[in-house]
A = this chain, B = another copy of it.
Amino acid sequence: MNETIPGTLWEPDFLLNGTVPGTLWEPDGGDGPLILVAHGGGQHRGSPAVVGRARMLVAAGFRVAALDAPGSESPMQGPAEGLAERLNRINAEVAARAVPEWKAALDLLAPDGPAGFWGVSMGAVIGLEVLAAEPRITAGVLGLTGARPDLARRITVPIEFALQWDDELVSRESALALFDAFASAEKSLHANPGRHTELPRHEADSAVRFFQRHLRPA
């Protein structure tokens, strides 16, 4: 990636464990709490959704790191497998494989924590795995999934959770049940009309303010 974010210091890509490509964005001065941003299915760390969130976070005083998610090697399970079913299976596989990579990113960039995590859809399934495993993550913005309430029950840090009211890939009931499952004393559900990819822009603004409340950049 060669994009330069205005007003920020561009850092070269880094490699985790010699193989996992990552990008670090830093505000002027290079300081600030770290937010990990995980992309959704079919995206990568340079996708507009990731770069846009990074730009907003950097403007608010955060450092931002994004990794490319592991590829899925899972074959189709035959014609009977529906799209939502297939996505759930692939997301779960990718998320489990991604955990050590995000831990390595923390070791490199915020070894003593605290840090935030922001991911929706497949990125949220990764986030559920990472938040359940990693005490250095102290605040998370997740959404657009109803998977893994078992992991949510182990998560106690503040969560902002986005749900699309007309999501064609995630049932409303499963997403409400996932929100209910978080053990966090502080959690907010934000639901808006629209399909899976129609999360409104004001939810990104809200996510930045959530991280500002909980991670207090200078």
A residues in contact (CB < 8 Å) with B: 163, 165, 176, 179-180, 184-193, 200, 202, 205-206, 209, 213
Contacts of A163 in B (CB 8 A): 189
Contact between chains at A191 and B192 (CB < 8 Å): no
Contacts of A206 in B (CB 8 A): 206
Q: How many copies does the complex hold?
A: 2
A-B contact pairs, 24 of them (CB 8 A): A163-B189, A165-B180, A176-B176, A179-B191, A184-B193, A185-B193, A186-B192, A186-B193, A186-B200, A187-B192, A187-B193, A188-B190, A188-B191, A188-B192, A188-B200, A188-B202, A189-B189, A189-B190, A189-B191, A189-B192, A190-B190, A202-B209, A202-B213, A205-B209
With contacts A165-B189, A189-B191 known, what are 19 further pairs, Cβ within 8 A?
A163-B189, A165-B180, A176-B176, A179-B191, A184-B193, A185-B193, A186-B193, A186-B200, A187-B192, A188-B191, A188-B192, A188-B200, A188-B202, A189-B189, A189-B192, A191-B191, A202-B209, A202-B213, A205-B209
Contacts of A187 in B (CB 8 A): 192-193
Report which residue of A185, A191, A192, A200 has the largest number of chain B beta carbons within 10 angstroms of its beta carbon: A191
